[in-house]
């Protein structure tokens, strides 16, 4: 007899916790600064350059046609995988200040593809926002919803990401069927997708947000635009 969905999901959550513990030993593969761990200081100084382990992490780009969590061509020479939390202030800063410039300079030119992964590390409201993002993606409105959530800094785990706000932001982001959105954000599929992204992040040693893989090479934190340009140009030339 096959395991029940609830039991399977519980085992998957246990795998996340194990992967998180292993990540503490793998996090040295990443540079420090410009990102945030749970309970970390709010203003760390950014590192000037990315680093990686001797063998390097795997390239986890999915390159799926029609992926609602991706921006850019599937055959772009550079893929940047982003692991972020909707409650992370550094993720918000990257979304508001740096990502639009990268889209204009590289995504629109067919050079860069950006793939989003949910990496909720700051508690229940982070998880709720991640699952709401999945629900928006089901109606091809993920990026509009993403931009609405990151439009301004918000208080963490204080009700700012309560269901009523997530639904209101979905409406503002142009999600057409809010009844479906409500159902999808509470679904087991949304939770499973979130957990799968978390497991992927922990397995490559991510321990803070935002974390990026640029053609498999790690870069940690909301670094200055020029740091991303350097990393993308290096990946492009390989």
Distance between CA atoms of residues 172 and 175, nearest Å: 8
CA angle, 227 then 232 then 237, to 5°: 130
Distance between CA atoms of residues 90 and 86, nearest Å: 10
Contacts of 139 (CB under 8 A, 6+ apart): 175, 176, 177, 180, 181
Do strands 112-118 and 78-84 pair parallel, antiparallel, or not at all (unpaired)?
parallel
For residue range 14-72, list pLDDT tens digits in order.
Answer: 444 444 444 444 444 444 445 666 654 333 333 333 334 445 556 899 999 999 999 99
Closest by Cα among 140, 120, 117, 119 to 61: 117
Q: Where exactly are the structural domains of the chain?
A: 5-35+44-237
For the purposes of burial, counting CB atoms within 10 Å of the CB of 2, is it exposed (0-12), middle (13-18) or buried (19 or more)? exposed
Whole-prediction pTM value?
0.80
Residue 187 token pair:
């679904």
pLDDT at 205 over 60: yes
Give the homologous superfamily in CATH for domain 5-35+44-237.
Answer: Glutaredoxin (3.40.30.10)
For residue range 68-123, list pLDDT tens digits in order.
Answer: 999 999 999 999 999 999 999 999 999 999 999 999 999 999 999 999 999 999 99
């Amino acid at each position: 007899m096959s395991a029940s969905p609830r039991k399977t999901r519980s085992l998957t959550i246990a795998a996340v916790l194990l992967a998180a513990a292993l990540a503490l030993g793998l996090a040295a593969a990443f540079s420090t600064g410009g990102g945030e761990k749970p309970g970390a200081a709010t203003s760390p100084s950014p590192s000037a350059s990315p680093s990686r382990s001797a063998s390097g992490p795997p390239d986890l780009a999915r390159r799926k046609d029609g992926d609602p969590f991706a921006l850019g061509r599937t055959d772009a020479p550079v893929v940047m995988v982003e692991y972020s939390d909707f409650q992370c202030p550094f993720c918000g800063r990257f979304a508001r200040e740096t990502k639009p410039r990268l889209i204009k300079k590289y995504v629109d030119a067919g050079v860069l593809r950006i793939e989003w992964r949910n990496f909720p590390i700051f508690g229940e409201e982070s998880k709720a926002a991640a699952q709401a993002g999945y629900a928006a993606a089901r109606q091809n409105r993920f990026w509009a919803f993403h931009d609405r959530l990151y439009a301004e800094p918000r208080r963490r785990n204080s009700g700012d990401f309560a269901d009523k706000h997530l639904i209101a932001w979905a409406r503002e982001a142009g999600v057409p069927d809010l009844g479906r959105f409500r159902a999808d954000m509470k679904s087991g599929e949304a939770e499973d997708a979130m957990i799968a992204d978390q497991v992927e992040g922990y397995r490559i040693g991510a321990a803070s947000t935002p974390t990026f893989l640029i053609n498999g090479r790690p870069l940690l934190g909301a670094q200055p635009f020029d740091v991303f340009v350097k990393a993308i140009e290096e990946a492009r030339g390989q």
